[in-house]
Chain A
């Protein structure tokens, strides 16, 4: 079939034609920081007698990046647009890690369906989103503890918690769990996060309380329970 001149004419008829303070705390390049080496993870079993009946359906879905960012925004009382930006410019979920976090990009790249399974980069992408959001929350709360949204109960002196065994610390951990996984923390979980503070406090740091707030939040926000449903 030869080309229809009308077709050409018809086709031609259609012709038509944030976060500036990132600078302060962004991690330095690798030549300035030796790689952190940690021993391989081990698994601590639950206490004796704490028995659950496993699900035979065992059916879980990963929260998409859209759902995860929304959950962090509501749980941490951050505007959705301020949850996480890469290079201070690009929304972590919408612009950068969308596909890794189960999103789609139908219009420009033809990705019409989310990945059926997570990939190696999915946990890393989720970590970056959680870490950015939690650090922002901690930073804002510690800048004005009296009006803090999440960490206001903590009693801080010279950048450190006054007493890690005090009730406000447990209350803060409970809030983290309630906000991020919608349940109360168990005593084990409270103890684990208190121990985390103790371990951190052994490392010289000017603002260990704020750092603990940020990474405790990150630890809970990036548990499998917070990511899958």
Chain B
């Protein structure tokens, strides 16, 4: 067996599966995620392993895309009557019922509805249940428990929907939601990745290098009060906070010099205003992700993962760019094992190369000749690294354009809504909920005009949230 041989997940697989099972809930309004067949691609889960076993047996691996497309339908058909997860339901039944054939805990539903919510302990398991939502909403958004008396009063209200709407509006202004270390901070952690030991500003760490408080403030600001969430990636302002209650956030715009004067060199934002791209160019992002790296792939990959929901390390969002990777920094990324990811990652990264971390020019700022500064001499190909790059197949001149394309993409809307879906509902959409999810992120882009709060008002009306 060739251990370590190259093996890839096939991004074409979901579309083939959905061609074959168009009525499967997982295919309605979208396509299954990689995890339908994989654990961490290219490794397969139990269902994926069964399919692999039936996929052109005897043909040398890795399969070409053409072979894969030819062989997959028959392989899927061959495992329909098998039970990959051993839960007693065959794969086909699970596919059509919208449950996961590789997850023994995910099984098709049994029938039956209660006569009333009251008769069922207060849980209407077949319908949207306002009382259940009212209780849950207060915990999720306000961090409070609805008192017994208030719950009783709610039960006899005529306009329960109106009260739910009002309650949510109140909660979205609560300290639990938007205050310091509130729920919105929790959403931001994976994007900002704080490390207190190198924090500057308030509550500094042992080695103060940059202050992530600015990043949290900007994040929260873009998520509240009908602000446009795209500004997370496009803002050229920063945000200051007035601790509450009520905690309030307001924007300000200062150039680097003004900011040093106003707040001091330890925390000032040093990228000039017109070169700023929201969270992508904050001082903390450059301290923590770019650090000392000439071509800061980590910074770009983190942005792709954090704001667009695409993890290149898991083979997500790959989009081969002709001629790439050029390997300007001579890292050997043209090797077969690296090429596939770096053909996307490297051109995705070029627009980040003019923003310095610790070196290559004034730290944490936009440095047009950074590549020259970081090169080892005239013949160093690093000098040829372009600033222009490619994201989602679209050429962009610089990071500001990159951010515009990113923030207007489907991927940004999906990733934003998915963050909240997982936070509030507790897990990613199930196959049966894919349609609701799809509708929600599309409306977030259009009807909600990128307002997170408007999207959340709709999220709590979904069956995924409201049916116990």
In-complex A–B contact (CB below 8 Å): yes
Chain A CB within 8 A of B193 CB: yes
Most A CB within 10 A of own CB, among B110, B125, B200, B425: B125
**Cβ contact within 8 Å between B208 and A106:** no
Chain A CB within 8 A of B273 CB: no
**Cβ contact within 8 Å between B209 and A112:** no
Contacts of B186 in A (CB 8 A): 104
Expressed in whole angstroms, the minimum distance between the Cβ of B32 and any Cβ of chain A is 20
Contacts of A112 in B (CB 8 A): 189-190, 193
Give a binary string over A71-82; 1 marks a CB under 8 Å from any B CB, 0 the rest: 100110000000
Question: Considering the complex, which residues of chain A in the window 58-80 have a beta carbon less than 8 Å from any beta carbon of chain B?
Answer: 59-61, 63, 66-67, 70-71, 74-75
Expressed in whole angstroms, the minimum distance between the Cβ of A102 and any Cβ of chain B is 11
**Cβ contact within 8 Å between A54 and B125:** yes
Expressed in whole angstroms, the minimum distance between the Cβ of B436 and any Cβ of chain A is 13
Contacts of A61 in B (CB 8 A): 426
Chain A CB within 8 A of B251 CB: no
Complex CA distance for A48 and B447, rounded to whole angstroms:
51
Question: Considering the complex, which residues of chain A in the window 90-132 have a beta carbon less than 8 Å from any beta carbon of chain B?
Answer: 104, 106-108, 110, 112-113
Out of B151, B209, B426, B467, name the residue touching A11 (CB < 8 Å): B209
**Cβ contact within 8 Å between B195 and A107:** yes
Cβ-closest chain A residue relative to B193: A112
**Cβ contact within 8 Å between B120 and A182:** no
**Cβ contact within 8 Å between B358 and A182:** no
**Cβ contact within 8 Å between B125 and A56:** yes
**Cβ contact within 8 Å between A57 and B468:** yes
**Cβ contact within 8 Å between B358 and A11:** yes
Expressed in whole angstroms, the minimum distance between the Cβ of A189 and any Cβ of chain B is 12
Expressed in whole angstroms, the minimum distance between the Cβ of A49 and any Cβ of chain B is 11
Chain A CB within 8 A of B196 CB: yes
Question: Considering the complex, which residues of chain B in the window 186-209 have a beta carbon less than 8 Å from any beta carbon of chain A?
Answer: 186, 189-190, 193-197, 199-200, 204, 208-209
**Cβ contact within 8 Å between A7 and B195:** no
Cβ-closest chain A residue relative to B146: A182
Contacts of A63 in B (CB 8 A): 139
Give a binary string over B8-23; 1 marks a CB under 8 Å from any A CB, 0 the rest: 0000000000000000
- Tell me whether A110 and B195 are in contact in the complex, defined as CB-CB below 8 angstroms, given that A74-B145, A74-B147, A182-B146 are known contacts: yes
Chain B CB within 8 A of A37 CB: no
Complex CA distance for A33 and B194, rounded to whole angstroms:
46
Complex CA distance for A59 and B465, rounded to whole angstroms:
10
Chain B CB within 8 A of A203 CB: no
**Cβ contact within 8 Å between A183 and B194:** no
Complex CA distance for A75 and B197, rounded to whole angstroms:
38
Complex CA distance for A11 and B197, rounded to whole angstroms:
14
**Cβ contact within 8 Å between B195 and A70:** no
Complex CA distance for A182 and B425, rounded to whole angstroms:
21
Give a binary string over B356-390; 1 marks a CB under 8 Å from any A CB, 0 the rest: 00111001000000000010100000000000000
Chain B CB within 8 A of A53 CB: yes
Out of A1, A14, A107, A183, name the residue touching B374 (CB < 8 Å): A1
**Cβ contact within 8 Å between A67 and B151:** no
Chain A CB within 8 A of B313 CB: no
Out of A15, A59, A70, A108, name the residue touching B426 (CB < 8 Å): A59
Contacts of A53 in B (CB 8 A): 112-114, 120, 125-126
Question: Considering the complex, which residues of chain A in the window 4-43 have a beta carbon less than 8 Å from any beta carbon of chain B?
Answer: 4, 6-7, 10-11, 13-16
Chain A CB within 8 A of B60 CB: no
Chain B CB within 8 A of A85 CB: no
Chain A CB within 8 A of B178 CB: no
Expressed in whole angstroms, the minimum distance between the Cβ of A220 and any Cβ of chain B is 13
Chain B CB within 8 A of A147 CB: no
Out of A56, A66, A106, name the residue touching B194 (CB < 8 Å): A106
Expressed in whole angstroms, the minimum distance between the Cβ of A78 and any Cβ of chain B is 14
Chain B CB within 8 A of A179 CB: yes
Chain B CB within 8 A of A178 CB: yes
Contacts of A11 in B (CB 8 A): 209, 358
Contacts of A14 in B (CB 8 A): 200, 208-209, 265-266
Complex CA distance for A15 and B209, rounded to whole angstroms:
8
Complex CA distance for A3 and B374, rounded to whole angstroms:
10
Out of A1, A16, A52, A179, name the residue touching B376 (CB < 8 Å): A1
Chain A CB within 8 A of B161 CB: no
Question: Considering the complex, which residues of chain B in the window 42-61 have a beta carbon less than 8 Å from any beta carbon of chain A?
Answer: none
Chain A CB within 8 A of B276 CB: no
Cβ-closest chain A residue relative to B210: A14
Question: Considering the complex, which residues of chain B in the window 137-181 have a beta carbon less than 8 Å from any beta carbon of chain A?
Answer: 139, 143-148, 151
**Cβ contact within 8 Å between A107 and B110:** no
Complex CA distance for A16 and B139, rounded to whole angstroms:
41
**Cβ contact within 8 Å between B196 and A7:** no
Chain A CB within 8 A of B135 CB: yes
Give me the interface of A with B, judged by CB distance under 8 Å. Answer: 1, 3-4, 6-7, 10-11, 13-16, 52-57, 59-61, 63, 66-67, 70-71, 74-75, 104, 106-108, 110, 112-113, 178-179, 182-183, 229
Give me the interface of B with A, judged by CB distance under 8 Å. Answer: 109-110, 112-114, 120-123, 125-126, 135-136, 139, 143-148, 151, 186, 189-190, 193-197, 199-200, 204, 208-209, 265-266, 292, 294, 358-360, 363, 374, 376, 425-427, 467-468
Q: List 10 A-B contacts (CB under 8 A).
A: A4-B360, A13-B265, A53-B125, A55-B125, A56-B125, A59-B427, A63-B139, A67-B145, A70-B144, A112-B189
Sample of 14 further A-B pairs with CB below 8 A, known A10-B363, A106-B194, A107-B196: A1-B374, A1-B376, A11-B358, A16-B200, A16-B204, A57-B125, A57-B467, A59-B427, A63-B139, A67-B145, A104-B189, A108-B197, A182-B135, A182-B146
The 4 closest A-B pairs by CB, nearest first: A56-B109, A178-B148, A107-B196, A106-B189
